[in-house]
Amino acid sequence: MPHNIAVLGSTGSIGTQTLDVISQFPDRFKATVLAAGSNVDMLVAQAVKHRPALAVIADTSRYAELRDALAPLGIETAAGPEALADAMERPDFDTAVTATVGYSGLLPTVRAIRAGKQIALANKETLVVAGELITRLLADSLPAITAETDKHEGYHLHYAVKACANPKVLRQIQQAGFGADCVSGGEIKACLEAGFPAHEIVFAGVGKADWEIELGLAAGIQYFNVESIPELEVINEIAARMGKVADVSFRINPNVGAHTHANITTGLAENKFGIAMEDMERVVRLAQQMQNVRFVGLHFHIGSQILEMNDFEALSSRVNELQDRLEAAGITEVKNINVGGGLGIDYHNPDGNPVPDFHAYFETYANCLQLRPGQQLHFELGRAVVGQCGSLITRCLYVKKATAKQFVIVDAGMTDLIRPALYDAYHHIQNLSSTADEELYDIVGPICESSDVFAKDYRMPATKRGDLIALRSAGAYGEIMASRYNGRAVPVAFTTDALN
């Protein structure tokens, strides 16, 4: 039996796209209720096409047009905000798809929740397809990335798994043709389970345990990004014991700064990552003398959440300089250059800029990096791929009025999204339940730590107990960094099929 669906915002571009998609699966979906704000002409057209049981419009001044157009088809009609909200309690549908964030969609969504209906969001990030909540923004971003890399011969993409290792996300990224950038044995296992070919997995990390090296060798990963001489020696020993030859790329610390938070810079001499430039030639020579490792390239990564292209220009200049040095030393067999990732997202305006400027990012390297003939260029993007694809949904527990401040105390905390506490990071916050005038709040969690604060002096519609709050741009370093501090359960990632 198909799912009977009510589509709120049926006449907008996203509502139209949603209806177009679900109509492709008539055995799975039936549009039973169509609801819109004021666009009568479009609502009539949608009703004629999809034949719902009810078409309802919030604007009562247009009701006569709707009624007269649909009465010959036997389609029930109604008008007004209250009628639209009442429609959400009808027994003839089970799922409400909200394709609008306006006032006309807010009260009906709340009524649908209270009536026990399943709720699915269809917006710039998500779309209902065949019973699953598919990450629409991810589906848009992946082709945007591959379209840019396809312009350049020898460009290879590895998704930085540390950003988000949700199995469904991993499968979608793998199906788009990405390889994987892993920093632990657990991530390698997750990628293999998600279908990533082992020969497209690269393994970085400053502290690889023996079992992780053994896992990588046994699986046949593409190469190890090696960060120290002791690590190189251990990989050689383990490879010899296993009768393997390990391909290795050396992560060189380029001492290039990045315009980002100090805690997420990785390319300065003071950072723990990589091998000092001064030791580069010596380490390559050492690897060339070993029997069970094979030198295949250089690896770099200068930091995360970088929005200024001149940082990547500076890295390119340093890579060019280091390649010249190697050639002057007689080392010419450098098959791979890996520049890491680092491209950031717009946390302040996630709707206005949902997809990063991938064109500028890849063109910067195409214009500035002097690759040698036949060299392969590898990228390790994470946040830029998934950051905008998820939100943390929480509920207001209390509104506490102190002497000088108002606090919105929510049931999520730094255990669910640690970035604000760890980096003083900003996330756009929305009250999904209120359209009242804005007030000033500190938005805080329940954790027994003073740093459990999502935002200070934040303007948000007047909030009350029970309101649903969304912290946007939580797709990267959200779910993956959750903890059980204070004995709390880790947050659960929901998709439509999990709610069915």
Q: What is the pLDDT of residues 378-406, one digit of tens each?
A: 999 999 999 988 888 889 999 999 998 99
Answer whether 224's CB lies under 8 Å from 208's CB: yes
Residue 23 has pLDDT above 80, yes or no: no
Name 256's Cβ contacts closer than 8 Å, sequence gap at least 6: 267, 268, 302, 311, 314, 315, 318
Asked whether the CA dihedral 471, 14, 135, 104 is positive or negative, the reply is: positive
How much is the average pLDDT of 82-103?
77
Question: Could you tell me the two tokens for 308?
Answer: 């200024």
- The larger pLDDT score, comparing residue 129 to residue 89, is at 89
Residue 211 has pLDDT above 70, yes or no: yes
Q: What is the pLDDT of residues 242-257, one digit of tens each?
A: 999 999 999 999 887 6
Secondary structure letter of residue 489 according to DSSP: P
d(CA 75, CA 66) in angstroms, rounded, equals 10
The confidence score (pLDDT) of residue 254 equals: 85
Residue 197 has pLDDT above 80, yes or no: yes
The confidence score (pLDDT) of residue 414 equals: 96
pLDDT band per the 50, 70, 90 thresholds, residue 496: very low
AA letter at 104:
S
Answer whether 383's CB lies under 8 Å from 343's CB: yes
pLDDT band per the 50, 70, 90 thresholds, residue 450: very high
Residue 322 has pLDDT above 80, yes or no: yes
The confidence score (pLDDT) of residue 331 equals: 94
Residue 36 has pLDDT above 90, yes or no: no
Query: Which residues of 18-145 form beta strands (DSSP E)?
Result: 29-36, 54-57, 76-79, 95-98, 118-121, 126-129, 132-135
**Listed residue (248, 242, 335, 228) closest to 290, CA to CA:** 248
Residue 49 has pLDDT above 80, yes or no: yes
Whole-prediction pTM value? 0.74
**Listed residue (194, 166, 223, 183) closest to 385, CA to CA:** 166
Query: Please, which residues bridge with residue 303 across strands?
Result: 265
Range with the largest mean pLDDT of 4-8, 11-15, 354-358: 354-358
The confidence score (pLDDT) of residue 263 equals: 47
Q: What is the pLDDT of residues 108-136, one digit of tens each?
A: 777 777 777 776 655 544 444 333 333 55
* Structural domains of the chain in order of their starting residue, each with its CATH number: 3-123 (3.40.50.720), 136-387 (3.20.20.10), 390-499 (2.40.37.10)
The confidence score (pLDDT) of residue 133 equals: 36
How much is the average pLDDT of 458-475?
93
d(CA 141, CA 137) in angstroms, rounded, equals 6
Mean pLDDT computed over every residue of the chain: 87
The confidence score (pLDDT) of residue 102 equals: 52
**Listed residue (402, 390, 442, 444) closest to 421, CA to CA:** 444
How much is the average pLDDT of 275-279?
91
Angle between helices 167-175 and 136-149 (to 10 degrees): 40
The confidence score (pLDDT) of residue 433 equals: 86
Rg (CA), the chain: 26
Answer whether 231's CB lies under 8 Å from 210's CB: no
